[in-house]
Structure 1
Amino acid sequence: MTYVSILVNVDVDAPVAPIAKLAVDLGRRFNARRLLGFCAADAAIPLVITPETGALLADAWQQLRNDLFHQFARLREEFDDAVGGSIAADWIQALDHPTRSLGEAAHMADLIVMRSPQDAATDNLFRSADPGAVVLQAGRPVLITPNTCERISAKKVVIAWKNTREARRAVMDAVPMLHAAAEVTVVAVDDEPDDWLRAGMRNVDTAQNVASFLLHHGVRVATEVLTSRDETDALLRFLASFEADLVVSGAYGHSRVREWAFGGMTRSLLDQTGISRLMAS
């Protein structure tokens, strides 16, 4: 397995070079055939328009959109310069909502690479994609990286294991990176140690099965069982003590009115902007 095509999200308000160089490095290490630079943004539509201000606001809105086209051109040049012809690369741009557009573009790639949510240069949802929402919509694994990171070591990897569809998908999507890692640990949190009715089906019971599965894929792997009523706190403490540089996890959430609500573990991992996260849903 490998990542043949990597979709690289370029934030319209952030430096291009770090994320582009990181993607180039991933492409070389995992024999990718092409990188797809992607940038989407739009101008917010004014909420209040009166007959007196309508024409003026429409002109201002159109000017903002024209400015974005010029910015797209500059960002494409920076992306091409950073890639430097070392790997085949294409560019996609969209004058549209960035989160939705990136999710829709996911069908062209094996892996999406983007920045941490708190590293976006703006909180304006018309100018930067929300990584958590992208994970839940894309149907592809999303690698969320720290802001200035230009290379992901992925030598010490933690799999945050739950026996769920999302976690199973994330593990399978991460196999190329797990192959390259020096240490891989499947971590399961036993938050109900006395639940004998579910013996054999709990996360801690299936963690060893996941390790065996990965061993058959040639991955060097260990397991770690943590006992805690607070699975999020237990996992974050383990990540710090293990000095992990990549965590693999399923992402859990559901749509509410005009926004996404995330599970506690998912939200906490999205907030860990100092570590790379490979997430799938």
Structure 2
Amino acid sequence: MSSYASLIVNLDLGPDAASRVALAARLAERFGARLIGSASRSIIPALPLEAGFAAQTLIEQWREIAAEELQEIEAGLIKLAGPAAGTALRTGMDEPTPFLVEQAHAADLLIIGRQGRSDHRDWRFAVDPGSILLEAGRPVLVVPPATDRLSAQRIVIAWKDTREARRAVWDALPFLKAAEEVFVFTAGESPETSGARGLQDYLRQHGVNARILPDATIREACIADELVERARQEGADLLVSGAYGHSRTREWILGGVTRDLLDHASICCLMSH
């Protein structure tokens, strides 16, 4: 991928929405990309069948409230991203996660907020990051709270010779090609057995001179924390990683490292499945 032509940022009315939109707007300007805001709010509550006419009245009231909230989101997008040519908003009154998955066909990159156990969630518009990663078919940039800038001048690739990691590297090429320094980190494997040397050569063909970080022996339980710590040691504010998971009885089961990065990674993570 040579560049990003279209970015979608998920919107809500939570305290971190403004910083996320600001970051997305700066990326759109950097890549000359179209910026699309996406927001959807479900208005169908669980009501007893005997509610009858009263239920319909409540639904109409909730629909009006949802419409007002979506107008507030639109005003915020225009204020933060500006009325630049190409900036657009897509809204719906449906479950937020499937709505964003449906909109993903229009973007090269999806930008969503981190929603870990200790993070504030605007439940009205919140999407499930794991489901977005595994269903959207697009790379996802997960942004920590209160993060309004991403320099991506120094990037760490969490490398494992898998389909997911290879996809993530390809999807991150616009960032990698513009970076000042790129580092490849393999947890518990040598550069020779992990395919890191081959990755280094591949990136060189794209004009990216990557450096392989010294191998480190780390416990399986803390790989995500080690990845983020190594990125910080190298002054990186972007981590590129494959996203791992599988479907079981119609529910997505995330891999441990993917789950931990989504829960509490303190830097931006570009992830692909």
Q: 2:248 matched to 1:256?
A: yes
Alpha carbons 2:231, 2:237 under 8 Å: kept? no
Alpha carbons 2:9, 2:111 under 8 Å: kept? yes
Which amino acid counterpart does residue 94 of structure 1 have in structure 2?
G
Question: What whole-Å deviation, never above 9, does each CA across 1:128-156 have from its counterpart, x for those lacking one?
Answer: 10112101111111101112211112122
Q: Give, in angstroms, the shift of residue 110 of structure 1.
A: 0.6
Which amino acid counterpart does residue 96 of structure 1 have in structure 2?
D
Q: 2:217 matched to 1:228?
A: yes
**Aligned in 2, Cα 1:259/1:66: closer, same or farther, shift over 3 Å?**
farther
Normalized against structure 2, the TM-score is what?
A: 0.89
**Aligned in 2, Cα 1:261/1:10: closer, same or farther, shift over 3 Å?**
same
Identical aligned pairs, as a percentage?
36
1:121 paired residue number: 121
SS in 2 for 1:149: coil
Q: Distance in 2 between matches of 1:265 and 1:234?
A: 6
1:196 paired residue number: none
Question: What whole-Å deviation, never above 9, does each CA across 1:221-249 have from its counterpart, x for those lacking one?
Answer: 11125353634524522531441311111
Q: Give, in angstroms, the shift of residue 163 of structure 1.
A: 1.2
Question: What whole-Å deviation, never above 9, does each CA across 1:74-120 have from its counterpart, x for those lacking one?
Answer: 11011011111345201100111111110111000111111111345
1:269 paired residue number: 261
Alpha carbons 2:11, 2:125 under 8 Å: kept? no
Question: What whole-Å deviation, never above 9, does each CA across 1:158-199 have from its counterpart, x for those lacking one?
Answer: 1111111111110000011112222211111236x8xxxxx9
Q: Distance in 2 between matches of 1:104 and 1:160?
A: 28
1:108-257 equivalence runs, <5 A:
108-118=106-116, 119-122=119-122, 124=123, 127-190=125-188, 202=193, 204=194, 206-228=195-217, 230-231=219-220, 233-234=222-223, 236-243=225-232, 244-257=236-249
Aligned length: 267
SS in 1 for 2:225: helix
Unaligned runs of 5+ in 2: none
1:36 paired residue number: 36
After superposing on structure 2, the runs of 4+ consecutive aligned residues of structure 1 that deviate more than 3 Å are: 12-16, 256-259
Over the aligned positions, Cα root-mean-square deviation in angstroms equals: 2.2
Which amino acid counterpart does residue 37 of structure 2 have in structure 1?
G
Which amino acid counterpart does residue 29 of structure 1 have in structure 2?
R
SS in 2 for 1:177: helix
Q: Distance in 1 between matches of 2:229 and 2:216?
A: 17
2:55 paired residue number: 57
Normalized against structure 1, the TM-score is what?
A: 0.87
Q: Distance in 1 between matches of 2:254 and 2:150?
A: 26
